[in-house]
């Protein structure tokens, strides 16, 4: 067994425990709160760049634009003043899910364009989308950006995110999805930011 196989086995076991626990709850929100979820947010760095690049190549379903980046591409983006990068880890009382979501924002005057947003399907329906958007908007507001723009490029495999931006409160205009940071109300999620 390789280290990756061992890690995968551990993740499956943790997920089995989560699923068993979920059956003890009648209310989904109560179950999510019981997980005690925490997310650590990092910029791209020498430790996570290889994993970010790997996920960029592999993520198909929850991937809004499905742009593939190599490790060198990711490294260049991390050093560019035109981009802001976010790598989200998620852990709960059953264990660490590792790096599960990546966002790359491109700076365009007072607007931030979501160049990349992909996420592991393992953490769907746990409030990670809401936590990620809350974090992006918080960053945008603190840094004087008025609008966040997203784009969905359909592929054969990413239909599950076709309504992603609409579900999060974006409006469709000029063939892109837009969100004004000044009107934003934080979305509800059971995930808290790890200190």
Task: Look up the domain containing 120 and give its range.
Answer: 36-193
pLDDT at residue 6 above 70?
A: no
pLDDT tens across 111-123, in order?
A: 999 999 999 988 8
Distance, CA of 128 to CA of 39 (rounded, Å): 9
Predicted confidence band of residue 4 (pLDDT cuts 50, 70, 90): low
Q: Which pLDDT value is given to residue 22?
A: 84
Distance, CA of 132 to CA of 153 (rounded, Å): 20
Q: Which pLDDT value is given to residue 20?
A: 84
> Is 22 among the domain residues?
no
Structural domain count of the chain: 1
Q: Which pLDDT value is given to residue 58?
A: 92
> Is 17 among the domain residues?
no
pLDDT at residue 183 above 80?
A: yes
pLDDT at residue 82 above 80?
A: yes
Residue partners of 55: CB distance under 8 A and separation at least 6: 99, 102, 118, 120
Predicted confidence band of residue 168 (pLDDT cuts 50, 70, 90): very high
- Tell me what the mean pLDDT of segment 153-159 comes to: 96
> Is 83 among the domain residues?
yes
> Is 23 among the domain residues?
no
Helices (H), 35-97: 49-58, 71-79
> Is 9 among the domain residues?
no
130 — phi, psi (to 5°)?
-65, -45
> Is 4 among the domain residues?
no
Average pLDDT, the chain: 93
CATH of the domain at 44: 3.40.630.30
pLDDT at residue 69 above 60?
A: yes
> Is 129 among the domain residues?
yes
- Tell me what the mean pLDDT of segment 49-55 comes to: 94
- Tell me what the mean pLDDT of segment 76-102 comes to: 95
Distance, CA of 160 to CA of 167 (rounded, Å): 12
**Strand 171-173 to 176-180 pairing:** antiparallel
Q: Which pLDDT value is given to residue 10?
A: 79
């Amino acid at each position: 067994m390789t280290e990756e196989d061992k890690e995968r086995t551990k993740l499956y076991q943790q997920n089995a425990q989560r699923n068993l626990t979920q059956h003890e709850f009648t209310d989904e929100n109560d179950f999510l709160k019981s997980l005690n979820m925490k997310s650590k947010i990092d910029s791209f760095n020498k430790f996570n760049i290889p994993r970010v690049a790997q996920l960029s190549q592999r993520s198909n379903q929850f991937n809004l634009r499905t742009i593939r980046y190599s490790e060198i591409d990711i490294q260049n983006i991390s050093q560019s003043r035109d981009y802001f990068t976010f790598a989200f880890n998620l852990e709960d009382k059953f264990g660490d899910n590792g790096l599960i979501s990546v966002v790359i924002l491109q700076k365009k005057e007072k607007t931030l364009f979501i160049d990349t947003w992909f996420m592991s399907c393992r953490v769907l329906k746990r409030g990670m989308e809401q936590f990620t958007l809350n974090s992006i908007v918080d960053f945008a507001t603190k840094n004087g950006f008025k609008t966040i723009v997203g784009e969905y490029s359909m592929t054969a495999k990413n239909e599950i995110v076709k309504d992603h931006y609409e579900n999060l409160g974006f409006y469709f205009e000029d063939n892109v999805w837009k969100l004004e940071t000044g009107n934003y109300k934080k979305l509800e999620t059971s995930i808290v930011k790890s200190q």
